[in-house]
Amino acid sequence: MPDTPTTTTGEPAAGGQPAPDRTTTGATIELEGLTKRYPGSGTAAVDNVSMEIAAGEIVILVGPSGCGKSTTLRMINRLIEPTSGRITINGEDVTRMDPVRLRRKVGYAIQSSGLFPHMTVAQNIALVPRMVGWSKSRTKERVAEMLDLVGLDPGEFRGRYPRQLSGGQQQRVGVARALAADPPVLLMDEPFGAVDPITRDHLQDELIRLQHELHKTIVFVTHDFDEAIKLGDRIAVLREQSHIAQFDTPEAILTHPADDFVSGFVGAGAALKRLNLTRVRDVGITDYPTVSLDDPLQHIFDRLRSEKTNELLLLDRKRRPYKWLRRGDLTLAKGSLARAGTLVHDTVTRDATLRDALEAVLTDNAGRVAVTGRRGEYEGVVDMETLMNSVHELLEEDRLDALENQHELAESRRSRTELAQEGGFGEGSS
Ligand code: ADP
């Protein structure tokens, strides 16, 4: 799709359409026979890599340190020039693109945010918009919009310097800067590598939320396989020289690793890792007896006496889970529900991972968690038994897969031996 005609500065040309307000969505990226040989180095850092990345997907490049992930990534925005091969974005060869246009097409975020310390947050975010010639007012608006997008209050953060921010906030600003000129492609090089695990978890969740809104094409480098599983639509597991060991969905890689290198990388506990991939919507949620704050007290008492479970879920006036009421709570109630029952402290949505649900259930005394809809309204309950059954199923699948793999391995060894023997006879008889 051709861009709006631009002047040399990138500002819409006279008569051209002003830049649209709606967000630019992703572009396809194609790597063809991409190779990088650093001067003075005998072997190529990246050797003949080909890969197609669809518009709007998050592809994770994962592999051991030094395997060539960063080099591959940095060739996409030409921070490193390829020795040979081709990279196209939406069919356009990036080596033929002028650098300003390329900056506009490809956002880039790195570990430790890479913010310029002598510039304010606003100046950092404004870098690419200014470079491509946006007006001051449009840039200012965009800075505020980007800060909002990454969950930072523009009034509070715009004028700060990077050293006045926490690591997580710096990283957010780094993402805001990468997205500022609304590029269809976002490259991220271990962007969350330098923050603590809890902040990292939050930043990952934020990125997933952002991507739901923005649909960019994101190429993300990490050495952390768990991060890859959590974020990737597809994962490219790379071995040395960026050779692709497997390029597939997280699910496929976890359940059918291509070879020993990939299994080694997936590591132990593939079944448990799959808890991150399975959603509450994929397991049965059950109905639970509920009453409402609007129900007459007598009705609630009667229900509590008649229910087999000994327990009811009390919903507030917006049908949101409010309290768990037990039969024993009746005696304490003394005509009012104000002090009766236990407040519902945690709920999950159908989109929550089984891991989140399991965490919620494990911290609940009675081993269950209420499932809610978009507005927090009650939809059902997931209990420990359902979750444990899912975990058992996953473990069982893994066990069967492992047996199958062993069987296949034994078969292929046997046929290799047979072939070698036949070969030996052949040679001997000729
Ligand atoms: P990764 O991101 O997977 O850790 P890199 O792409 O950074 O790997 O590096 C791949 C290989 O290229 C490594 O062997 C590294 O030492 C080498 N390398 C990286 N940058 C340079 C450079 N500027 N000059 C020479 N060799 C480099």
**Can you give the pLDDT of all 430 residues of the chain as single tens digits?**
333 333 333 333 333 334 445 677 899 999 999 999 999 988 999 999 999 999 999 999 999 999 999 999 999 999 999 999 999 999 999 989 988 889 889 999 998 778 999 999 999 999 999 998 999 999 999 999 999 888 899 999 999 999 999 989 999 999 999 999 999 999 999 998 888 887 888 888 888 888 988 899 999 999 988 899 889 999 999 999 999 999 999 988 988 889 989 988 887 677 777 888 888 888 889 999 999 989 988 888 888 888 676 789 999 999 999 999 988 776 666 667 777 889 998 899 888 888 889 888 988 888 899 999 878 899 999 999 888 888 888 778 777 777 777 777 778 777 777 777 766 544 333 3
User: What CA–CA distance (Å, rounded) separates 67 from 171?
Assistant: 25
Question: Which residue type, as a one-letter code, is found at position 348?
Answer: V
Beta pairing partners, 36 = 46
Q: How far is the CA of 45 from the centre of ligand 1 (A)?
A: 6
Residue whose Cα lies nearest atom 25 of ligand 1: it is 38
Which of 38, 79, 223 to probe ligand 1 with, by most ligand atoms within 8 A of CB? 38
pLDDT at 10: 36
Q: Which of 254, 237, 255 has its CA nearest to residue 246?
A: 237
Rounded distance, CA 231 to CA 292, Å?
39
- Which residue has its alpha carbon closest to ligand 1 atom 17? 45
State the distance from the centre of ligand 1 to the C-alpha of 33, rounded, in angstroms.
18
User: What separation in Å is there between the alpha carbon of 34 and the centre of ligand 1?
Assistant: 15
**Residue 371 host element (H or E):** strand 368-372
Q: Say if ligand 1 is within 6 A of residue 238 CB.
A: no
Confidence (pLDDT) at 345 = 86
> 75 in ligand 1 pocket by Cβ < 6 Å?
no
- With contact defined as beta carbons under 8 Å apart, do 56 and 228 qualify? no
* Spatial distance between the Cα atoms of 251 and 232, rounded to a whole number of angstroms: 10
Q: Which residues pair with 237 in a beta bridge?
A: 62, 246
Q: Is the CB of 17 under 6 A from ligand 1?
A: no
Rounded to an integer, what distance in angstroms lies between the CA atom of residue 100 and that of residue 102?
A: 5
> Which residue's CA is the nearest one to ligand 1's atom 6?
68
Measured by CA distance, the residue closest to atom 20 of ligand 1 is 71
Q: Does the beta carbon of 45 lie inside 6 Å of ligand 1?
A: yes
For ligand 1, whether the C-beta of 69 sits within 6 Å is yes
22 sits in which H/E element: none
Contacts 24+ apart (CB under 8 A), 135-143: 135/11, 142/180, 143/176, 143/180
